[in-house]
Amino acid sequence: MVDSFVEAAPEDVGMSSAGLANVTRLVRDYVDEERLPGAACLVARRGKVVHSVTYGDMDVERGKPVRPDTIFRIFSMTKPIASVALMRLYEEGRFQLDDPAATFIPELAGVKVFDGGTADDYRVRDPARPMTVRDLLTHTSGLASSGGTRSPVSELYRRAGVLGPGSEGTLADMVARLGTLPLRTDPGAEWIYGISTDLVGHLCEVISGLPFDRYLRERIFEPLGMVDTGFGVPAEKADRFAACYGPQEGSPRYRLIDDPATSAYLRPPTYFSGVGGLVSTAADYLRFCRMLANGGHLDGARVLGPRTLRLMAANHLPGGVDLTAMADFGGETKRQGQGFGLGLGVLLDQTVAQTIGTPGEIFWGGAASTAFFVTPAEDLIVIFLTQLRPSATYPALRRQLRATVYSSITD
């Protein structure tokens, strides 16, 4: 355990040291019971980090412990960053949320909707309405994924190499292939955890005129001082890159699935996936979360306006329903009592969600069991980083984390 991030005592910001000791115990238990190889967790309130723990190994095979500067695969925690990046262009008046996506991505202009059959023999029809930019930000675009729920459209994606973060080529190449494939549903009909955020990244490219990696670097990472966040791990930082594991029977309960010494992340990428392509550190993601908590600015750098963030953090699902009403696959959330904004999960009702929390909390997680949440009403930030795929291996972990943190608030 280390305290290199800690800036204040919990009691100074209305939290309990004894309560936050449960966060440390939770992390230790998961590692000591060999369910996770290692983890890092930060808790901040009122602008101060009040609890920090790193425990276990970032690379079990080499006996390398988790460090404060360990570089983790954040997978779907990329999505909020990509969404914030696109909304910077919204603030410039470069698009409106109800603009058809095909206005900027002409390959989508003639896209049809799957209307039955198999991947080898299927029917299509016209969509009920055009796909909009907001549909891409809210996962209601009708676009599917190559994984998740098995469907003929998912099979068509796999055959075409539309694989999200695992795709070859560039985002533009992906869009060209996507334009020949059907949507799984009408835009606005379902919440589908698919490849929508890769098109959010491509929109950033088209509208800004910059490659997505450069756009993120210049408009998000450099202003916020996120020095270790990117789509790959440069050679000089490879010694800080964590291994990634998957579950197995026996002891330990995980096995190596991506060796940091040979990982594809060490090679310069060409496909800059907004769905889940980034790596980051606890310190870097804390700076992103602090920007969210501060109404869009940090240390003199303004990324978004506070009203834009409030728009992003509102529930944009039709009729104000929760994800249960229209999600085919919940991804990183249990869905009940939880809505979805522009690239962010939103807690609507803690009694329906059956978890402690404060309405208005924004959150998301990643495929390697990572998670974050920011609660403006509590001025609270929590970041949890580890490396075990899939995140569904221990579905209670994020709810346990909420229980230990929220119950530590004393005011």
For 389-405, the three-class secondary structure string (H helix, E strand, C coil) is CCHHHCCCHHHHHHHHH
Is the CB of residue 249 less than 8 Å from the CB of residue 192? no
pLDDT of residue 327: 86
pLDDT of residue 344: 97
Count how many Cα atoms sit within 13 Å of the Cα of residue 267 in the half-sphere of its side chain. 7
Mean pLDDT of 145-173: 89
Q: Is the pLDDT reported for residue 333 higher than 70?
A: no
Q: Which of 239, 230, 341, 329 is nearest to 292 (CA)?
A: 341
Q: Which of 259, 258, 278 is nearest to 76 (CA)?
A: 278
Percent of the chain at pLDDT above 90?
94
| pLDDT mean across residues, the chain | 95
| 256-305 residue pLDDT tens | 999 999 999 999 999 999 999 999 999 999 999 999 999 999 999 999 99
> Whole-angstrom Cα distance, residue 273 to residue 79?
9
At 149, is the pLDDT very low, low, confident or very high (cuts 50, 70, 90)?
Answer: low
| 74-131 residue pLDDT tens | 999 999 999 999 999 999 999 999 999 999 999 999 999 999 999 999 999 999 999 9
At 145, is the pLDDT very low, low, confident or very high (cuts 50, 70, 90)?
Answer: confident
At 148, is the pLDDT very low, low, confident or very high (cuts 50, 70, 90)?
Answer: low
pTM (2 d.p.)? 0.97
Mean pLDDT of 171-185: 96
pLDDT of residue 147: 76
Q: Is the pLDDT reported for residue 328 higher than 90?
A: no
Q: Which of 263, 269, 287 is nearest to 368 (CA)?
A: 263
> Whole-angstrom Cα distance, residue 297 to residue 107?
35
Among 33-47, 137-151, 160-174, name the most confident range.
Answer: 33-47
pLDDT of residue 1: 38
At 5, is the pLDDT very low, low, confident or very high (cuts 50, 70, 90)?
Answer: confident
Mean pLDDT of 380-405: 97
| 184-198 residue pLDDT tens | 999 999 999 999 999
Q: Which of 64, 186, 357, 170 is nearest to 178 (CA)?
A: 170
